[in-house]
Chains A and B, each alone.
Chain A
Amino acid sequence: MKRITEFITAHPYDLPVRISHWVMAFSISVLMITGYLIGNPPFSQPGDASDIFLMGTIRYLHFVAAYFLTAAFLLRLYWGFVGSRESRWSEMLRWDGRFWKHALDEILALVWPVRPWRLYFGHFPIAKIAYVFVYLAVAFSILSGFVIYASAQYSPLWRFVAEWGLKPFGDNLNWVRYLHHWLLWFFAVFVVIHVYLVVYMAVRMMTSEVEAMLGGYKIIRREDLAEGEEVESVA
């Protein structure tokens, strides 16, 4: 008896989502490394200050990466309102009964690996929750980061940002810096879990999640799909 396996080719992630993902991934990596060095410079070497610009260069890289992150975030924010089904914020925040059933299913499959692992058209349910917090953290990093950034800029527009942007933080610049500093550890923990789960899925289920984030397409076996999951096949 031969079982028939049906494969679906899905296109969950639009190009803007993919571009913004990889720009974000790269810029946040740079921001974490340079941010750590800004907060804890582990160096202090002798020499003539006019010949060296080490701290200045690190801060420069932080700011360049910050602008890239901001651009990627704005692109993703916009696309969440106009893009395809899986790009939409409404879909990212669709935490209904079916969603929680899927989330529970995913947790059980992580806790007891003998249970079958289900696949989805787009994001995994637990991951969706995490992504909402990631985007909130990105938004916060941009807000707090630019408030600190503006404090050293002296054009009228930047002065406006520096003075009024400080109000939500109780007019306290050191407090902004302190909260901004915590982002480092939030993202560090997220990236470890995120990359682990992506690799985990690839190894355990031979999924094409990373390929989907790179090229846009993924191939799902129909029988692996979660119950009630709606898929739009392109092939």
Chain B
Amino acid sequence: MAIISTAGLARTFETKRGPVQAVRGIDLTVREGEILGFLGPNGAGKTTTLRMLTTLLAPTGGAATVAGHDLARDPAGVRRACGYVAQSGGVDGQITVREELVTQGRLYRLPRARAAERAEELARDLDLTGLLDRRCAALSGGQRRRLDIAMALTHRPKLLFLDEPTTGLDPGSRAGLWDLVRRLRDEHGTTVFLTTHYLDEADALSDRLVVVDRGVVVADGTPSALKREHGGSADASLQDTFLAITGRGTAPADPTPVAV
């Protein structure tokens, strides 16, 4: 069952210096319950695609169905079905964790008492219990990320979009976040659509990869299939595979984390 399908989804921004084709035409399907890694270099159009799929940005071309709702005709249905964590997060540093969680519950139309309960539940699930009365600005990077995700899970969405969820996190927090993503899928069957430019993360976490470059999908498959097809063998590194796909230069002698 496809939970997302898009056809020619495109977005052009009109800027002072002329039009910018951020997304030229994305065709993809995401199956229910899968962890999809949406991989691509900076500026490839990942965030723009996510913002279209979450109704934040109107496409200038193409169409998409998200969780059974047509993106253009039923944005409210799409909003009820999915959660979204932007790269920058989305909490006010001056407000307490509890207040943000409760307000989010109320924005999803939970009654007051239920929103307060839901805040406690989310805090328990995401290991934020001791932090509820702290201001958001006083959280560490990893705690902040867990809060962002808690906010997005308020209404138990079937589909969760994460935009570069581990950028800027220390290795311990990154590992914790990977576990969290797997747990969401295994325990709740949540479909997770995550963007990353870390190849190791895409490799370790995703059931399937969609590689985008310059606003179009350039490869699509399981990590091992992509390695076989583009990297020469199943043992090829994802880095070599990626370079073969995007045709960019030679492998940088950069240590981990491998970013493109």
The answer to whether A and B belong to the same complex is no
